[in-house]
Amino acid sequence: MSEAPRKRKGTRKKSSQVEDAGKFGVHKVPEDVVEIERNILENWLIALKHWFKINIKTTRYIIFSTLFIVVMGFTLIFVHSAVSEKHNETFYSLMDKFDEITDNSTVKLNALAKDTDKLCNTVWQTKHSPNGCLLSALTYKKLAQHDKVSKSLQLYSENVDNSGISAFSLFYAAYHSEVAKDFDNSEVLYKELQNKLKIVEKEDIAIYQLAKIKYYKKDYNGARNLMNELLEKHSKSAYIEKAKKYLLLISIKENAVVENGN
């Protein structure tokens, strides 16, 4: 009776491994390649170790410098966190005081205004405190000190991150300068607002307000040019009718000057 052929041990296992390797796209690395790469890595580590031994001072300097940078990094993170927490505590404390002044006491509001000004002018990471500046503006608004409202809102506009809010606050900064009859500052702010709004093609309000300031300063020629610019560039603006009225007023005033001259 003939014997059945013996199965070779491990044949099926190796075959299965090969099939699995092919299935997953894994290729066996030749032994000589493995040996070459191992030798390269060992040679590189030996060379590195040899360099560290020769350049012991440089090695120490690198280690200490790295440790110093890590320690300083953690220190800065801790300081930043502590300063931010202190700033927030101060802001919320001042907000509570603002809410508590229900009688519009001038004495209390002036005392609060000093504290909010201090917070607004606290510079951290090259920026003023936007929250402090806004609270300062609200406090000065209650005191009807429009020039200081304008200054606080201007700082708020310069330091707030949102471009839309920045433009909105800049408008009110210019407006409060206008109310305070500081037309020179108001003109500067409206021009800045116009440049901001050009980007989103919403500059009609800035042109109109700037033209008004020119009119108040008796620069009728400048006011006329801006009103005409508004009519030409923004024919669908909500300020068209108002611009026409100002153009009529300018004509009346100029005619009156001519008649008085005659």
- Reading the chain (262 residues) residue by residue, the pLDDT tens digits are 445 555 444 444 444 444 444 454 555 667 777 778 878 888 888 887 777 777 777 777 778 888 888 888 888 777 767 777 887 888 889 999 999 998 889 999 999 999 999 999 887 666 788 889 999 999 999 999 999 999 999 999 988 888 888 888 999 999 999 999 999 999 999 999 988 887 767 889 999 999 999 999 999 999 999 999 999 989 889 999 999 999 999 998 888 766 666 5
How many Å apart are CA 94 and CA 91, to the nearest integer? 5
Q: What is the pLDDT of residue 17?
A: 47
In sequence order, the β-bridge partners of residue 124 are: 127
Q: Give the count of beta carbons closer than 10 Å to the beta carbon of residue 260.
A: 7
Q: Which residue has the tokens 């609200």?
A: 138
Query: CATH number for the 78-261 domain, one of 1.20.1740.10, 1.25.40.10, 1.10.1660.10, 1.20.58.2240?
Result: 1.25.40.10
Q: Which of 162, 107, 98, 101 is nearest to 130 (CA)?
A: 162
- Alpha-carbon distance of 99 to 78, in angstroms, equals 32
Distance between CA atoms of residues 138 and 107, nearest Å: 16
* CA-to-CA separations, 244 to 78, 202, 214, 230, 234, in angstroms, rounded: 59, 19, 15, 10, 13
- Compute how many other C-beta atoms are within 10 angstroms of the C-beta atom of residue 179: 14
Two tokens at 50? 């040899």
pLDDT at 187: 93
Q: How far apart are CA 217 and CA 129, in angstroms?
A: 34
pLDDT at position 122? 83
User: What's residue 216's pLDDT?
Assistant: 93
| Residue among 188, 116, 191 nearest 148 (CA) | 116
